[in-house]
Structure 1
Amino acid sequence: MTTFGAIGIASSGMTVYRKWLDALSDNIANASTVTSTDEDAFQARYVVASEMQDGQGAQVRGVVVGSAEGRMVYEPAHPLADAEGYVRYPDIDMASQMSQLIMAQRGYQANAAIVDRARATYEAALQIGRN
């Protein structure tokens, strides 16, 4: 594998992890979004990634959205509550989202480190060629 190949593969990984981080941040930001029972709840986004066709990196295949049904919570004092006192919250598990956030952040950092090391290796090779 060439230095440029390593940079390309790691860059594709960074793109996948960035999109995963974006989806997770949206999910976490909207975990407490309340809607009335006659509306859909916020739908969590889940990134689906796969290997590139040539085997030289990763790519986002698509985004799957969670259930619009959400979970019903009894809050009769809430302004959006229905006649029985229920509102709808997204069905988002914060513990799972935070765990995934840590994994995505570390994956992004690992790929960024690979890009940085490959760049340093390339610069060192250029310096050797100059001398």
Structure 2
Amino acid sequence: MALGTIFDIAGSGMNAQSVRLNTTASNMANAQTASSSVDQVYRGRQPVFASVQEQAMRMALGGEGGDRHPDASAGVQVMGIVESDAPLQRRYEPHHPQADEEGYVFYPNVNVVEEMTNMISASRSFQMNVEVMNSAKQMVQRALTLGQ
């Protein structure tokens, strides 16, 4: 594995964790937004990732591992962002300005504790990818100084 590939893999991981952090921040920002209608209430969102493995792709294409296939890459790919199917929170608050005719207000299906856990996990994963990049950079710098 070339050192350039390490930068690609760590970069894709950082990108994926950035998407995860942004999605989590959006969920937390909308966790207490009220709505009078089920159709208008915010629903929690989660990113969907897929791992891309260069060696597995080469084997599937029948290659031995010689030249790099132009379409092959390694790392993490963000497949999309999906809405949660968890049930919405329906609360009886007849004096709330957003209450419906029966006095109920609908809140998002966002669990703030889970979102904080996601945020910590994504932040640490991002930091680990930064450390991988720093280590690879140090290896390249040390390899360049070997000839001196």
The amino acid that maps onto 1:128 is L
- Where in structure 2 are there 5+ consecutive unaligned residues? 56-73
Over residues 29-52 of structure 1, what are the superposed CA-to-partner deviations in whole Å (9 max), with x where a residue is unaligned? 100011113642102111010112
**Aligned Cα root-mean-square deviation (Å):** 1.7
SS of match in other structure, 1:62: strand
Distance, in Å, in 2 between the alignment partners of 1:88 and 1:117 is 48
SS at match of 2:49: strand
Partner SS for 1:60: strand
Q: Deviations over 1:85-127 (max 9, x none)?
A: 1111001111111111111111111001101111121122223
Normalising by structure 1, we get a TM-score of 0.90
TM-score after normalising by structure 2: 0.80
| Higher Rg of the two aligned structures | 2
TM-fit CA distance, 1:54: 2.7
Q: Residue in 2 aligned with 1:89?
A: 107
Unaligned runs of 5+ in 1: none
Structure 1 outlier segments of 4+, above 3 Å: none
Residue 46 of structure 2 aligns to a residue whose secondary structure is strand
Q: Which residue, 108, 120, 126 being the options, matches 2:138?
A: 120
For residues 38 and 59 of structure 1, the distance between their equivalents in structure 2, rounded to whole angstroms, comes to: 32
Residue identity over aligned pairs, in percent, reads 35
DSSP 3-state at the match of 1:76: coil
Task: Work out whether 1:61 is the aligned partner of 2:86.
Answer: no
1:128 positional shift = 2.7
Shift of 1:53: 5.5
2: CA distance, partners of 1:86 / 1:63? 29
- Amino acid of the residue matched to residue 131 of structure 2? A
Aligned-partner Cα distance in 2 for 1:38–1:58: 34
- Listed one character per residue, the Cα deviations across residues 45-64 of structure 1 (whole Å, up to 9, x for unaligned) are 11010112535211111111
Match of 1:40 in 2: 40
> Contact 1:42–1:70 (CA<8 Å) still a contact in 2?
no
Secondary structure of the structure 2 residue equivalent to 1:77: coil
* Counterpart check, 1:77 vs 2:103: no
